[in-house]
């Protein structure tokens, strides 16, 4: 009973004491998801990066145009045919708790990531190509690879490789660190209220210079309409996840605007290419591709903020084929192809997809309309993420068409291609072809950049020939900002680079 009373009192106190008025010089950002823990090794949620990249740094970072830049490592050399990389570390950097950043910290970070602590989390599997890290001297480390990895430098700018403070973790314990992160980044952790918000303040000793802002607050608001309402009322300055349906409202408001940049996330429908599905016939697959008016989908449901794609990657991806024209929107030809393949009008098919995304929900409904235009009766089968990802896809129990979208965060086609076309991979339960598999394996063995690009492009072309998917579009990364915000440059990856941002009143 006492506990109950205490809880009630606490909750009442929470409401009665209104949240302190936000100091000027503080930026408030609202997003849908709360990443729920702050340990780089444990995180598996994309939304983590936007916040945590302001608390932590990696050895390498990517700038707004996604080029690799020095982070906590000033420079590096790739040696021994890619089996060893030497990093020269930045001098004079400290963690938020005063602890010095040095080679010890880097070794500790990677030992932890590759060791027992990392084994319990999802990030380790991204870094298994690293064998170990050894200290050369206070500001130099050697990273030994288990096998050459052409993408390792990009991965080192990723979530799992953020550098963590050894003394702090050893002293305060893993659980404390999980909820009270300490890093080297431009903002320091102040407080975290689960499901509500996380508060950060500026780190004046940041090695790239003190941020313009005094602090940042990230608020977690699940409901799209609620998030928007907060932006309109001025309680929030930036929306990190903007529902497409909200775009007209934002643009109509004088105090708000939309900034966007093409993102890497591709949306497509994967096609079941084995019997007895009708889509085992390549002509049927091509017909399906021609039945869909991708631009109409983009205009209607993305507010025009997207680009149609002919391959499972966007323009900025390494391995992109610029002159690959997709299947045209041509319902006539689609009907002809279907007829040739012996598919009678009124044939039923089904699209399996994840029910969480309301925009995609609308997209598949519209696609069903396009398919009925060419004589097919296509039903929809929404399912929960867990069921879709756990059972239906990996076990090859999908219907003729199923959703495949992938955030190509490495901006390198190798990742997506391997997942989608390599036999035995989870997203490819039906197999592709010998030639495709050969190309994929070859692509990973080659280290010459030009050669890799050429192989990846061949893969993209082959995939297009075989029409394993209906590639739909890449979404723009959209932010809604109030005119209080100055100097905000959106980047295609989810990271929010807030060092140069400031607010006026």
**383/330 Cα distance (integer angstroms):** 30
x/- binding map, residues 21-50, to other proteins, per CB under 8 A? ---------------xx------xxx----
- Report the sign of the C-alpha dihedral through residues 276, 280, 286, 290, in that order: positive
Positions 252 through 311 that interact with other proteins (CB under 8 A): 296, 299-301
Q: Examine residue 389 and tell whether it contacts other proteins (CB under 8 A).
A: yes
CB of 193 to other proteins, least distance (A): 8
- Considering the rule CB under 8 A, would residue 441 count as an interface residue with other proteins? no
C-alpha angle 474/58/218, rounded to 5°? 65
Helices (H), 277-412: 282-291, 294-301, 331-340, 358-373, 385-387
Q: Does 3 bind other proteins (CB under 8 A)?
A: yes
Segment interacting with other proteins, rule: CB under 8 A, options 84-92, 205-213, 310-318, 389-397: 389-397
Applying CB under 8 A, among 222, 447, 486, 489 the residue interacting with other proteins is 222
Query: Counting contacts by CB under 8 A, is residue 251 touching other proteins?
Result: no
**Helices (DSSP H) in 292-375: which residue ranges?**
294-301, 331-340, 358-373
Site membership for other proteins, residue 229 (CB under 8 A): yes
Closer CB to other proteins, residue 344 or residue 386? 386
Exactly one of 24, 191, 210, 235 binds other proteins (CB under 8 A); that residue is 235
What's the chain's Rg over C-alpha atoms?
24
Q: How many CA atoms lie within 13 A of 133 on its CB side?
A: 25
Q: Which of residues 326-345 bind other proteins (CB under 8 A)?
A: none
Stretch of residues binding other proteins (CB under 8 A), selected from 71-79, 140-148, 237-245, 304-312: 237-245
* Interface with other proteins, residue 396, by CB under 8 A: no
b/e per residue 288-297 (b: at least 16 CB within 10 A):
bbbbbbbeeb
* Sites for other proteins among residues 81-110 (CB under 8 A): none
3-state secondary structure 159-205: CCCCCCCHHHHHHHCHHHHHHCCCCCCCEEEEEEECCCEEEEEECCC
Contact letters for other proteins, residues 111-150 (x by CB under 8 A): --------xxxxxxxx-x----------------------
Task: Compute the CA torsion angle 253, 263, 70, 215 (nearest 10 deg).
Answer: 30
**Which of 283, 307, 333, 355 forms a contact with other proteins (CB under 8 A)?**
355
Contact status: 77 vs other proteins (CB under 8 A) = no
């Amino acid at each position: 009973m006492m506990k109950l009373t205490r809880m009630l009192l606490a909750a009442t106190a929470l409401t009665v004491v209104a949240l302190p008025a936000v100091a000027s010089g503080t930026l408030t950002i609202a997003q849908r998801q709360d990443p729920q823990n702050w340990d780089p090794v444990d995180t598996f949620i994309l939304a983590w990066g936007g916040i945590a990249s302001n608390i932590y740094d990696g050895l390498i970072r990517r700038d707004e145009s996604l080029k690799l830049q020095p982070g906590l490592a000033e420079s590096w050399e790739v040696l021994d045919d890619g089996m060893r990389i030497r990093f020269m570390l930045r001098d004079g950097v400290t963690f938020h708790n005063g602890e010095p950043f040095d080679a010890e910290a880097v070794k500790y970070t990677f030992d932890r990531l590759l060791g027992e602590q990392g084994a319990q989390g999802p990030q380790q599997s991204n870094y298994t190509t690293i064998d170990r890290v050894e200290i050369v001297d206070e500001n130099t480390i050697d990273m030994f690879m288990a096998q050459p990895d052409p993408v390792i430098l990009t991965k080192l700018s990723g979530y799992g490789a953020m550098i963590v403070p050894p003394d702090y973790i050893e002293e305060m314990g893993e659980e404390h660190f999980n909820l009270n992160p300490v890093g080297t980044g431009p903002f320091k952790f102040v407080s975290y209220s689960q499901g509500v918000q996380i508060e950060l303040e500026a780190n004046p000793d940041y090695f790239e210079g003190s941020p313009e802002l005094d602090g940042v607050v990230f608020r977690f608001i699940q409901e799209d309409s609620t998030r928007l309402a907060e932006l309109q009322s001025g309680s929030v300055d930036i929306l990190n996840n903007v529902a497409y349906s909200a775009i007209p409202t934002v643009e109509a408001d004088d105090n708000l605007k939309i900034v966007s940049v093409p993102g890497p996330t591709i949306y497509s429908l994967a096609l079941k290419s084995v019997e007895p599905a009708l889509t085992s016939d390549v002509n049927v697959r091509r017909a399906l591709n021609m039945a869909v008016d991708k631009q109409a989908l983009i205009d209607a449901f993305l507010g025009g903020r997207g680009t149609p794609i002919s391959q499972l990657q966007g323009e900025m991806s390494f391995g992109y084929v610029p002159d690959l024209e997709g299947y045209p929107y041509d319902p006539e030809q689609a009907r002809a192809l279907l007829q040739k393949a012996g598919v009678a009008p009124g044939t039923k098919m089904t699209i399996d997809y994840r029910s969480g995304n309301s925009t995609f929900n609308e997209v598949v409904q519209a696609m069903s309309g396009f398919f009925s235009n060419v004589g097919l009766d296509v039903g929809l089968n929404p399912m929960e993420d867990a069921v879709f990802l756990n059972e239906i896809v990996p076990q090859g129990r999908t219907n003729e068409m199923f959703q495949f979208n992938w955030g190509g965060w490495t901006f390198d086609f190798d990742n997506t291609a391997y997942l989608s076309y390599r036999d035995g991979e989870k997203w490819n339960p039906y197999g592709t072809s010998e030639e495709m598999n050969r190309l994929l394996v070859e692509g990973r063995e080659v280290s010459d950049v030009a050669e890799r690009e050429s192989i990846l492009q061949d893969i993209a072309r082959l995939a297009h020939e075989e029409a394993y998917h209906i590639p739909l579009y890449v979404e723009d990364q959209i932010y809604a900002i109030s005119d209080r915000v100055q100097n905000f440059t959106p980047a295609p990856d989810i990271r929010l680079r807030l060092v140069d941002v400031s607010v006026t009143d």
